[in-house]
Amino acid sequence: MAFLHAVSSGTSATKGVLKSKSLTPYLLLAPGLIWLVTFFIIPIFSLASTSTMVRPDGAQVGVYEQKLRFANYVDAFVANQDQYLRSFFYAALATLLALAIAYPLAYAIAFKSGKYRNILLVMVIAPFFTSFLLRTIAWTQILADSGPVVSTIQLLPFIDDLFRINNTSTAVVIGLAYNFLPFMTLPLYASLERIDPRTLEAAGDLYANGLTTFRKVTLPLSMPGVVAGTLLTFIPAAGDYVNAAILGNPSTKMIGNVIESRFFAVVDYPTAAALSFTLMATILILVTLYIRKSGTDELV
């Protein structure tokens, strides 16, 4: 009897454990889920519903009602397609520029820096200690008409005195590339640092010279970093408005500037929301295509 009792109480105890066990994952997920719902799902639905609203005749500024007018999207796109295309063009240029600067930098930190590695990594991140705005404004000084960069370039014989960089598309692209450089450098560094130096030695041992080793071994093995870095640079760069506002001119406006002014200056919420959604969707499609193309088969 005592034995049976022990067995039965044993099973009920197991049941109790099982029950609480089955709840545990959900409890652990709860903070994240609540956060996601509050700060992502609800705002997305709110933005979506705003995007199809219409301003009733004679209503006050900023008052809109839901009419499910999907033509808002077409209107918004047609009116702003220049800024829209320009955003992706600038973002792509800035991404390429950042890649060209960050790859050698990350390579040097990963393979050649020795004991200075940590100091160099801190230097990559250090600019984040000051505000994004301040750093962008600092570039207006660097690229100023009488500043060091422009006056140096003007020394070249075929450059005329009217040459300037500030308030041009070049300045915007430079600003974008600069501001997102750490997002390019760090993933590149992470993937380069993971490469076993012995695989590089093995390539040399198997008749590959330095350049071939880079092309056939280092570069393919660092592709995860290249993909991550270009995405982390391209996505925020495409939606950025600070660089175009501070370093650009009216004809270098990006889609972020339009959205910003629609929201805060014109108080045209539906157009701003529609543009935001179009931007999101386009980035999502581009990123998906890019990841497909860059090939999970190429990645380790």
Where does this chain bind other proteins (CB under 8 A)? 196, 198-199, 201-209, 212, 216-217, 220-221, 298, 300
Q: Which is nearer to other proteins, 33 or 291 (CB)?
A: 291
Q: How many CB atoms lie within 10 A of CB 46?
A: 11
- Minimum separation from the CB atom of position 226 to other proteins (A): 13
Q: Which is nearer to other proteins, 162 or 211 (CB)?
A: 211
- Minimum separation from the CB atom of position 196 to other proteins (A): 6
> Which residues touch 175 (CB under 8 Å, ≥6 apart)?
136, 139, 243, 246, 247
AA letter at 228: A
Given the structure tokens 């918004």, which residue do they identify?
A: 76
- Minimum separation from the CB atom of position 300 to other proteins (A): 5
Q: Which is nearer to other proteins, 75 or 201 (CB)?
A: 201
Q: Which is nearer to other proteins, 66 or 212 (CB)?
A: 212
Please tell me the distance from the alpha carbon of residue 296 to that of residue 300, in angstroms, as a whole number. Answer: 8
- Minimum separation from the CB atom of position 91 to other proteins (A): 28
- Minimum separation from the CB atom of position 220 to other proteins (A): 5
CB 241 within 8 A of CB 254: yes
Q: Retrieve residue 188's tokens.
A: 């590149």
Q: Which is nearer to other proteins, 66 or 199 (CB)?
A: 199
CB 99 within 8 A of CB 183: no
Residue 94: name the closest of 175, 155, 183, 156 by CA. Answer: 175
